[in-house]
């Protein structure tokens, strides 16, 4: 299902009404789904304070509060800049039904509240954007203070109040959310990189009568929008069916990159992983690798084509290579017909050597912004979405443009925007882990765009899951911590729990 504009969302609401969905029924359904989605994202019951405006966005928040309180044991309260008699009638009715705790007249005494402390932004919906006016501006400042000084996290209902749902523009004073729960459909502007600082992670709350038709040019990567990767393995499944991944990675200075890429392939579901490393680094890498990974020394990259791999991963931690080695690597890129992930130093070699003419449709490129600038300096200063589309118009590859809102696309396909992730992922090794997981997905036969989309989602979700454990924080999380959560991330993908 494609991302929609505010006008398209209103048209879907009108269509739902014409098919028998009253405003009350639709709001109740959306609010209940929102409550369950909040509980899935924040699995430890704590305190939720809803910040309410006068409209139906506040009504959604009130219904969600009731779900969290009654079904999951959360403590709840509300803050509003308006007395209930000024609210929309339906919102006022939901307050009377829920009685979700108390209406706070002043800033909550955060020291006394059970943690985690979640602030639910229900100030404005898609009908209102731009600079917030009083009294909502004061409530937004209060939420910001609690987020910065009291360890609170902000969850936005449909959009962070003030952010433009069509463009992603963030006016001064808009709410900054850690996660945005988009009701019914993804909002086009919220998927843009320019909006990410305000939206945080993105979650889709399914509301059946508000589901847009498939086939949009801009899509959210979510288990609710992609059907791949949901089926259980057949009972007679074996390692040959899971796929064989060959990885060319590592160097004396970057042994960890090889280990992370191979470990990502292992946890990503590959049946057999062969890690090709330079002789000078082999002993160190072998000692660090899980015992399930086969480590082989490699003087010539063409050796990777032996034993019929289903997918290749090339580049993590290769470092600087000699002219002869680079020539052989170019031959490998030319000859291989299986899906091939080109990452890190492989991308730098392509840029330095002017090898972009060698790119083919079996190639999956995974540049971070710096690597993308080297590959396409004329595109690097464009908006990320525009740059990604322009790059695949030139080259017949699948592009994974990494960043806080990782983008996946290829020529003729939608632009897929990842929903998961955290600032905790701002550490070395994340790309190596992703390359390995992606190699496993490709080896299993998943089409390249779907493989890249699922892999990005899984790595981001693994980080989110790790952060629900109090022994991890945004500052302390490592890619190794995420490895142990990839299994839970797979289960969430399969079950559509996020």
Burial 92-115 (b: 16+ CB within 10 A, else e): bebbeebebbeeeeeebebeebee
User: Which of 212, 230, 262 is the last residue in one of the domains?
Assistant: 212
Q: Within this chain, do residues 253 and 307 fall inside the same structural domain, yes or no?
A: yes
Task: Note down pLDDT in tens along the chain; length 498 residues.
Answer: 689 999 999 999 999 999 999 999 999 999 999 999 999 999 999 999 999 999 999 999 999 999 999 999 999 999 999 999 999 999 999 998 876 568 999 999 999 999 999 999 999 999 887 799 999 999 999 999 999 999 999 999 999 999 999 999 999 999 999 999 999 999 999 999 999 999 999 999 999 999 887 778 999 999 999 999 999 999 999 999 999 999 999 999 999 999 999 999 999 999 999 999 999 999 999 999 999 999 999 999 999 999 999 999 999 999 999 999 999 999 999 999 999 999 999 999 999 999 999 999 999 999 999 999 999 999 999 999 999 999 999 999 999 999 999 999 999 999 999 999 999 999 999 999 999 999 999 999 999 999 999 999 999 999 999 999 999 999 999 999 999 999 999 999 999 988
User: Which of 176, 193, 212 is the last residue in one of the domains?
Assistant: 212
What's the CATH number where 282 sits? Answer: 3.40.1190.20
User: Which of 171, 193, 212 is the last residue in one of the domains?
Assistant: 212
Q: Within this chain, do residues 304 and 269 fall inside the same structural domain, yes or no?
A: yes
Query: Over 83-135, what HEC string results?
Result: CHHHCCHHHHHHHHHHCCCCECCCCCCHHHCCCCEEEEEECCCCCCECCCCCC
CA distance 424 to 18: 45
Residue 491 lies in a domain: yes
CA distance 129 to 134: 14
Q: Within this chain, do residues 243 and 176 fall inside the same structural domain, yes or no?
A: no
Q: What residues form DSSP beta bridges with 363?
A: 340
Q: Give SS3 for 316.
A: coil
Where are any strands of DSSP class E within 363-424? Answer: 363-365, 398-401, 407-410, 415-418
Q: Give SS3 for 248.
A: strand
Residue 53 lies in a domain: yes
* C-alpha dihedral (77, 82, 87, 93), degrees to nearest 10: 30
**pLDDT for the residue numbered 101:** 63
Q: Within this chain, do residues 186 and 308 fall inside the same structural domain, yes or no?
A: no
Q: Within this chain, do residues 147 and 261 fall inside the same structural domain, yes or no?
A: no
CA distance 310 to 181: 38
Give the helix/strand (H/E) hosting 50: strand 47-52
Number of domains in the chain: 2
**183 phi, psi to nearest 5 deg:** -85, 120
**Cβ 243 vs Cβ 417: under 8 Å:** no
Which residues neighbour 106 within 8 Å (Cβ) at sequence distance 6 or greater?
none
Q: Within this chain, do residues 47 and 106 fall inside the same structural domain, yes or no?
A: yes
HSE value, Cβ hemisphere, 13 Å, CA-based, for 144: 14
**pLDDT for the residue numbered 215:** 75
Query: Over 159-177, what HEC string results?
Result: CCCECCCCCCCCCCCCCCC
Which residues neighbour 167 within 8 Å (Cβ) at sequence distance 6 or greater?
189, 192
Which residues neighbour 471 within 8 Å (Cβ) at sequence distance 6 or greater?
none
CA distance 462 to 485: 5
Q: Within this chain, do residues 199 and 265 fall inside the same structural domain, yes or no?
A: no
Residue 218 lies in a domain: no
Q: Within this chain, do residues 282 and 335 fall inside the same structural domain, yes or no?
A: yes
CA distance 342 to 331: 14
Q: Give SS3 for 209.
A: helix
Q: Within this chain, do residues 134 and 280 fall inside the same structural domain, yes or no?
A: no
Sign of CA dihedral 62, 63, 64, 67: positive
**pLDDT for the residue numbered 337:** 97
Q: Within this chain, do residues 293 and 419 fall inside the same structural domain, yes or no?
A: yes
What's the CATH number where 25 sits? Answer: 3.40.50.10260
Q: Which residue range forms the structural domain that includes residue 312?
A: 239-495
Q: Within this chain, do residues 260 and 157 fall inside the same structural domain, yes or no?
A: no
Which residues neighbour 208 within 8 Å (Cβ) at sequence distance 6 or greater?
none
Number of H helices, E strands in the chain: 17, 16
Give the helix/strand (H/E) hosting 256: helix 255-267
CA-wise closest residue to 186 among 405, 488, 401: 405
Burial class (CB in 10 A: 0-12, 13-18, 19+), 213: exposed
**pLDDT for the residue numbered 318:** 96
Q: What residues form DSSP beta bridges with 122?
A: 52
Residue 2 lies in a domain: no
Residue 234 lies in a domain: no
Residue 222 lies in a domain: no
CA distance 305 to 310: 10
Residue 391 lies in a domain: yes
CA distance 299 to 432: 21
**pLDDT for the residue numbered 99:** 66
Residue 231 lies in a domain: no
Q: Within this chain, do residues 32 and 162 fall inside the same structural domain, yes or no?
A: yes
Q: Look at phi and psi of residue 229 and say left if phi exceeds 0, alpha if psi is from -120 to 50, else beta.
A: left
């Amino acid at each position: 299902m494609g991302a929609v504009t505010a006008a398209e969302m209103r048209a879907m609401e009108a269509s739902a009404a014409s098919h028998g969905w009253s405003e009350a029924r639709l709001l109740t359904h959306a609010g209940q789904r929102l409550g369950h989605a909040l509980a899935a994202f924040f699995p430890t019951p704590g305190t939720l304070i809803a910040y309410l405006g006068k409209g139906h966005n506040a009504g959604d928040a009130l219904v969600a509060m009731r779900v969290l309180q009654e079904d999951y044991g959360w403590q709840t309260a509300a803050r509003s800049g308006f007395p209930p008699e000024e609210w929309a009638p339906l919102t006022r009715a939901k307050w009377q039904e829920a009685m979700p705790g108390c209406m706070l007249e002043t800033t909550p005494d955060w020291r006394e509240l059970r943690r985690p402390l979640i602030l639910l932004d229900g100030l404005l919906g898609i009908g209102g954007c731009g600079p917030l006016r009083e009294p909502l501006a004061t409530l937004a400042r209060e939420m910001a203070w609690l987020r910065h000084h009291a360890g609170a996290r902000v969850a936005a209902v449909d959009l962070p109040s003030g952010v433009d749902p069509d463009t992603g523009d963030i006016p001064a004073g808009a709410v900054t959310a850690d996660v945005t729960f988009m009701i019914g459909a993804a909002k086009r502007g919220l998927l843009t990189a320019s909006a990410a600082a305000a939206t945080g992670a993105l979650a889709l709350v399914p509301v059946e009568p508000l589901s847009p038709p498939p086939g949009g040019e801009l899509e959210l990567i979510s288990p609710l929008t992609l059907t791949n990767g949901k089926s259980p393995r057949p009972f007679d499944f074996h390692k040959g069916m899971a796929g064989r991944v060959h990885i060319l990675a590592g160097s004396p200075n970057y042994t960890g990159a090889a280990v992370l890429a191979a470990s990502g392939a292992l946890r990503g579901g590959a049946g057999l992983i062969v890690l090709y490393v330079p002789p000078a680094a082999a002993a160190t890498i072998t000692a660090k690798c899980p015992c399930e990974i086969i480590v082989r020394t490699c003087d010539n990259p063409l050796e990777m084509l032996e034993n019929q791999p289903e997918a290749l991963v090339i580049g993590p931690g290769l470092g600087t290579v000699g002219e002869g080695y680079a020539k052989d690597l170019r031959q490998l890129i030319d000859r291989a017909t299986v899906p091939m992930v080109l990452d890190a130093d492989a991308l730098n070699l392509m840029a330095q050597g002017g090898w972009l003419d060698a790119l083919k449709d079996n190639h999956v490129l995974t540049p971070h912004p710096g690597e993308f600038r080297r590959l396409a300096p004329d595109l690097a200063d464009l908006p990320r979405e525009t740059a990604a589309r322009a790059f695949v118009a030139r080259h017949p590859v699948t592009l994974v443009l990494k960043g806080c809102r990782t983008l996946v696309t290829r020529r003729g396909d939608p632009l897929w925007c990842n929903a998961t992730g955290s600032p905790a992922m701002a550490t070395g090794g994340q790309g190596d882990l992703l390359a390995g997981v992606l190699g496993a997905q490709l080896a299993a036969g998943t089409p390249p765009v779907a493989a890249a989309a699922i892999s990005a989602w899984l790595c981001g979700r693994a980080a989110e899951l790790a952060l629900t454990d109090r022994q991890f924080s945004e500052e302390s999380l490592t890619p190794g911590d995420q490895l142990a959560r990839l299994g839970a991330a797979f289960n969430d993908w399969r079950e559509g729990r996020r």
